[in-house]
Amino acid sequence: MTSPAADATESIFDHTSAAAAAVSDRVDDVMMPTYAPLPMIPAHAEGSRLTDDQGTTFIDLAGGIAVNVLGHCHPALVAAVNDQASKLWHLSNVFTNEPALRLAETLTDLTFADRVFFSNSGAEANEAALKLARRWAHDRSIAAGVEPEHVTKYGIVALEKAFHGRTLFTVSAGGTPAYQVGFGPAPAGIDHVPANDIEALTAAVDHDTAAVIMEPIVAEGGIITLDPAFVEQARALCDEHDALLIFDEVQTGVQRTGSLYAYMTAGEGGTEVRPDIVSSAKALGGGFPIGATLTTEAIAESFVKGTHGSTFGGNPLACAVAGAVLEEVQRPDVIANANARSSQLRDGLQRIADDTGLFSEIRGKGLLIGAAMAPDHLGRAKEFQLAALDRGVLALVAGADVVRLAPALNLTENEAGDALAALAKTAADLVGR
């Protein structure tokens, strides 16, 4: 078994090899061509170490795209799923179940929310959030005496470069036009403004706006942290125009960015900015598919029986695992380690930037980190990802110009150090090409 811990200066994997090409060919033979997976097949993993089917071990700084918040096969999550698997798997929402009720109670105890809707993914959580906002705005209009055919309060204001999912509604709310090509016509009434442009946001929100949706950190769009003043202005505009503020916390939530949810510290001086709806997924299940849409009692009343649903939403297995995740990520030792690893990785990436000139800026909060390519190296994020793979580190990209890291909160100091040594060599190699 080979591992990057052995010698970070040596390549341990060759993504251009015949074996790697064979993996890609096998994928192409049977899978729809929607993905371009890395040219290796993971076989097993524990913590932040992942081993492929050839016995090569990698340090995982990708975290399943910010999903594996406690790493792979965490004992508490394994115990939770095994315990629940011997009791009850699936019921549908013809019934309720104890794990779902406990998880909803935990989420409402820990957040602003009074009510929760469970689904299976971030896209579904955002779909529910957007539908709920429009239904709420519709109900407000009808209550004010507007005839149904004359309701105009359905506008959605979102951010450019944002990502909210791949359903038709959520991909339309997302701010990447390329993801919408060929799927039109898109739902009407969706406008986009640049992140952190207060003037553009102010001009876009009016009496016909049902909701403003934003990620506290625009993740897929380059790890762009929203300015506190911009977030506070969004809250003020929603209050002024009787609209709802939706925080898409699919990627930033569950202690990923230094607080349980990023809205809790999104304002000036790290103060809370109150949302009306929050979507949560990814890390919520620690690797088991689950989504949740959180809101207040008054807003939830617009989702009357029959207005929305999800066959697998609130599945006992998923909810049992998510309950264990929430318990673990709130442990003081886990939080302290996450804070320490965030500083270690950010400082290490900054040293790489200073030494090589490959990166111009280190972005993000907590363990959602972006390293932006310097002007002379724009477009090389994917190249860096593949080169890092060859040196035994799994990383992500956020567009063509930003390397993204979203490791587990329990990544160890030694693992982070080994990974940074490998990334430093990767950066030096790329600059020398």
Active-site option among 163, 230, 247, 359: 163
Strands in 63-121 per DSSP E = 115-119
| Residue whose tokens read 């090509």 | 181
Backbone CA torsion sign across 71, 73, 79, 84? positive
- 427 membership: H or E segment, kind and range: helix 413-432
Active-site option among 282, 288, 418, 425: 282
In the beta sheet, which residues pair with residue 119?
Answer: 291
Active-site option among 52, 60, 248, 401: 248
The pair of three-digit structure tokens given for residue 208, joined into one six-digit string: 């016909």
Long-range own/partner contacts, residues 342-351 (CB < 8 A, 24 or more apart) = 342/258, 342/366, 342/367, 342/369, 344/413, 344/416, 344/417, 344/420, 345/61, 345/369, 345/405, 345/407, 345/416, 345/419, 345/420, 348/416, 348/417, 348/420, 348/423, 348/424, 349/420, 349/423, 351/424
Angstrom CA distances, 155 to 180, 198, 267, 413, 423, stand at 18, 18, 25, 47, 44
Amino acid in the structure at residue 62? A
Active-site residue, 365 included: no
Active-site residue, 87 included: no
Query: How long a stretch of residues is the chain?
Result: 433
Residues 173/166, Cβ–Cβ less than 8 Å: no
Closest CA to 254 of 53, 106, 370: 106
Active-site residue, 248 included: yes
Main-chain phi, psi angles of 116, to 5 degrees: -135, 140
Closest CA to 244 of 142, 133, 130: 133
Active site residues: 163, 248, 282
